Amino acid sequence: MFWYQMDGKTLTNRIDVKLWTVWKALFSRRTNGALVILSAPGGVSGTAELETQAAELAAHIIPAVEELMVTNNRTGSLL
């Protein structure tokens, strides 16, 4: 499972991410973003359960990543 956090937006389509990055680079001279990947070891039984757990974890991670990006945008600092 993966997604991109781009200026408060959650995107899952790589082409959309590239277009958004170009747009932001041209008009705001910034390309803020983060790639978030959740993975599990291959060959694990119970794939449906793992997907459910990953979705639950993602629901908690998304707001945290958004807050980090907003805070860093305000302060101009890197992590």
pLDDT digits (tens, 9 = 90+) for 6-55: 777 788 888 988 898 898 889 888 777 778 888 777 666 677 888 888 88
- How far is Cα 62 from Cα 29, in angstroms, rounded to an integer? 24
Please tell me the total count of domains within the chain.
1
Token pair recorded at residue 22: 């170009």
Q: Write out the residue range of the structural domain in which residue 39 sits.
A: 2-75
Is pTM beyond 0.75? Reply is: no
The amino acid present at 10, given as its one-letter code, is T
- How far is Cα 58 from Cα 61, in angstroms, rounded to an integer? 5
Tell me, what DSSP letter sits at residue 45?
Answer: S
Give residue-wise pLDDT tens across range 40-51. Answer: 776 666 778 888
- How far is Cα 32 from Cα 7, in angstroms, rounded to an integer? 6
> 1 in helix, strand or coil?
coil
Tell me, what DSSP letter sits at residue 29?
Answer: S
